[in-house]
Amino acid sequence: PKVHGGILADLAKESHRADLTRSGIEPFALVIVNLYPFREVAARPGARLEEVIEMIDVGGPAMVRAAAKNHRHVGVVVDPGDYEAVLRELREGGALRDETRFALAVKAFAHTASYDAAIRDELNARLAGTTANVSGALPAPAARPVLPGRLTIEARLVQELRYGENPHQGGALYADTSDISGTVAAARQLQGKDLSFNNIVDLDAAWRAVNEFDRPAAVIVKHNNPCGVGVGASLKDAFIKARQGDPTSAFGGIVAFNRTLDPPAASEAVSIFLECLIAPGYEAAARDVLAEKKNLRVMEAGPARDLFRGLDVRRVTGGYLVQDWDTAVVDMTKARVVTKRRPATEELRALDFAWRVAKHVKSNAIVLALTDRTIGIGAGQMSRVDAVRLAIMKSLVPVKGAVMASDAFFPFRDGIDEAARAGVAAVAQPGGSLKDSEVIAAADECGMAMVFTGVRHFRH
């Protein structure tokens, strides 16, 4: 009581001053609090729940909120970055100005709100890995995260951008307040012009896609869609394959690599005009190669980590749509074969590759591929058959013998007929159409192999 009484006392009221005197309580003019390092402990690999719980500060936030509430008489400091300015004002004027105390109070309430949000997010993430259910109902059979009854989005400003998606829109990048190492929001810019809003959107799409692959990989993105993807024995090999998938669209694109960039890959990358490049790291000699392209934006993300932490949140008018991330993985060797002909081993490898790419292409999405590269991508079409036609049209090499992945089922046989005429050998799709039997029959008629994955990858 003596602490909180001294913080909360309204010195403008005689009754409060009398209570302080009677109780022997000294009023506080300044409260400085550093909260327990909850985020830092929670971010440690293998941190136990007991350790995390121990770092939930109780007394600190209570004092901060009390001081912020009584900011007319008390200054509250929660950010060491403010120490110098506060000390300077105290030295010069002997006390903090009213407007300073008010600004510090606003910052303090934001600080405790952020702290509580971090606790909620961490505990909610841990709850998602259990069968616990706060409502008392039976847990859902699928291992899905526990969606919060109330959503609080906590983020900090990373940088203001020149503009948003278009020059007449404002824009900025914000980052989660949790550990975000290995992500686009935490990536370090090593050189080049300032990042734009659209650069960041495309960098994120490329970074997510390239980390689908274990082998050395390169992904080239334009307008939030992969236009070329390749894997190989080296990053140079992977990039060449990705570029060959659609060299016209690759011009002015964003490229992502999933390994530390070496000089051969760097030299190959700068052989065409690129807007941005992102990789986990860079060899010194590769940095020298990239430095020759002064305007090229080069981002160092570090090893990819927790790219799908938390929830996928999207803004709609009047609210938010929230879902868990699409992290479904399909073992193509266990996918259900629905045609008379089974896919050959090489076809299954190619289907696995194409399926991983299709997950990152805007719906309706069709991907034509070999075992190590895309040869045609049909993205964002309003009808699936048009996506097939577009993918075939985009291919610069014969489609005969290639495989096709579709992010969702074929509603009619027309998409299969188009693929068959081009020479597609095998298809992976989720299945589930009312006309699956007709689609399967179309594949059987031309000796095409088809598997149903049972997983849909819509992306809007």
Phi/psi of residue 101, nearest 5 degrees = -65, -40
Neighbours of 428 (CB within 10 A): 28
Handedness of CA 302, 305, 308, 311 (dihedral sign): negative
> How far does Cα 311 stand from its chain's mean position?
9
What is the C-alpha to C-alpha distance for residues 360 and 354, in angstroms, rounded to an integer?
10
Q: 217-222 and 312-316 as β-strands: parallel, antiparallel, unpaired?
A: unpaired
Tokens of 383: 């009808």
Which of 114, 153, 148 is CA-nearest to residue 315? 153
Give the chain's end-to-end CA distance (angstroms, integer). 55
Q: In the 8-state DSSP scheme, what is residue 192?
A: S
Tokens of 162: 């020149």
CB 448 within 8 A of CB 339: yes
Handedness of CA 358, 361, 366, 369 (dihedral sign): negative
Which of 325, 321, 320, 277 is CA-nearest to residue 297? 277
**Catalytic annotation, residues:** 69, 223
What is the C-alpha to C-alpha distance for residues 447 and 259, in angstroms, rounded to an integer?
39
Tokens of 171: 């824009």
CB 451 within 8 A of CB 332: yes
Q: Is 67 exposed, middle or buried (0-12, 13-18, 19+ CB in 10 A)?
A: buried
